[in-house]
Amino acid sequence: MNPLVRDALEVLLVVAVGGILWSAIGRMRRGEVEVMRCASCQRAVSRAYDECPHCGAPLPS
């Protein structure tokens, strides 16, 4: 592969990752990111689980 093409692709990847981080930080600063919490233990949980991995309480869908 031509080194110039490889370098251009690397720059594009760095710009893309930088844009993703900039967008995520902006959303967090504006308060648009909401952390799901368990109703029983108030700990942060993933939406992937049907029940809280910390206390075992069922999570809303």
Q: What is the pLDDT along the chain (61 residues), one digit of tens a residue?
A: 799 999 999 999 999 999 999 999 999 999 999 889 999 999 999 988 899 999 999 998 7
pTM for the complete prediction?
0.60
Tokens of 30: 């504006």
Query: Backbone phi, then psi, for 58, in 5-degree steps?
Result: -70, 140
pLDDT at 26: 96
pLDDT at 58: 92
Give the span between the Cα atoms of 8 and 18, in whole angstroms. Answer: 15
Specify which residues 44 forms β-bridges with.
37
For the chain, domain boundaries: 33-61
pLDDT at 60: 85
Tokens of 37: 């919490």
